[in-house]
Amino acid sequence: MRLSIYRYDPDKDERPYIKDYEVQLEHADRMLLDALVKVKVLDDSIAFRRSCREGVCGSDAMNINGKNGLACLTKVADLPEHVTLRPLPGLPVIRDLIVDMTQFFKQYHSIKPYVINDEPPPERERLQSPEERDHLDGLYECILCACCSTSCPSFWWNPDKFVGPAGLLQAYRFIADTRDQATAERLDNLNDPYRLFRCHTIMNCVDVCPKNLNPTKAINHIKELLVKRAV
């Protein structure tokens, strides 16, 4: 397998460059991450994040032949013989495939990602029907890999002002939770030409999400709630 990988080490490189690698894969090397681990044996200076290698920790998001995805969930068999890897677009590169995710997490934090409920909690669990709980499906599973937000042109343009698909998906996750009492506050927080309304339904986020989540749908729900509130 031939990999062309974006390389940049600010410690020694004046500018980024693409370096080519050839790796021999064995039967057990099923995923792109397996190939990358092989590359690292050849050249230990290549830097990328990885941890769970099963698509739940969200570490190894990168741009694979032009499309964002997780290396650990990308089957080698589904890729062409030649693969180009770049860091996630739109975020500052720290080194090689490692990006600075500060801005991404700042937006996530800005939506107050926690249940707000100021009533004293009961002795046992708060009750929620299975149907109410079903509303959280497709929302809570987000792994914060940033594939979606860094594929979104609106996020590229305004990463400081537009919450981005990942943050908005989570904003809706808390609005949709019957235990949360802060819907009004959350809608106020998003009722802004940039924070929410920079979403132009381009749907790159839906296209790339490795967990098959649908941020656009969640964003539309938020927009509907704002419209309903206005009339």
Binding site for other proteins (CB under 8 A): 9-12, 28, 30, 40-41, 43-45, 47-59, 73, 75, 94-96, 98, 101, 105, 109, 112-115, 117, 121, 123-130, 132-133, 136, 140-141, 143-144, 174, 177, 179-180
Residue with Cβ nearer other proteins (30 or 161) = 30
- The residue whose two tokens read 């092989």 is 38
Tell me the closest approach of the beta carbon of residue 172 to other proteins, in angstroms. 13
Tell me the closest approach of the beta carbon of residue 125 to other proteins, in angstroms. 4
Residue with Cβ nearer other proteins (135 or 223) = 135
Cα–Cα distance, 194 to 177 (Å, whole number) = 25
Cα–Cα distance, 175 to 229 (Å, whole number) = 14
Residue with Cβ nearer other proteins (81 or 123) = 123
Tell me the closest approach of the beta carbon of residue 111 to other proteins, in angstroms. 10
198 near 158, Cβ under 8 Å?
yes
Type and span of the H or E element at 163: none
Q: Which of 26, 45, 46, 44 is nearest to 34 (CA)?
A: 26
- The residue whose two tokens read 């995923």 is 31
Residue 169 tokens, joined:
């998906």
Residue with Cβ nearer other proteins (178 or 202) = 178
Alpha helices in 18-91 (DSSP H): 32-42
Residue with Cβ nearer other proteins (51 or 201) = 51
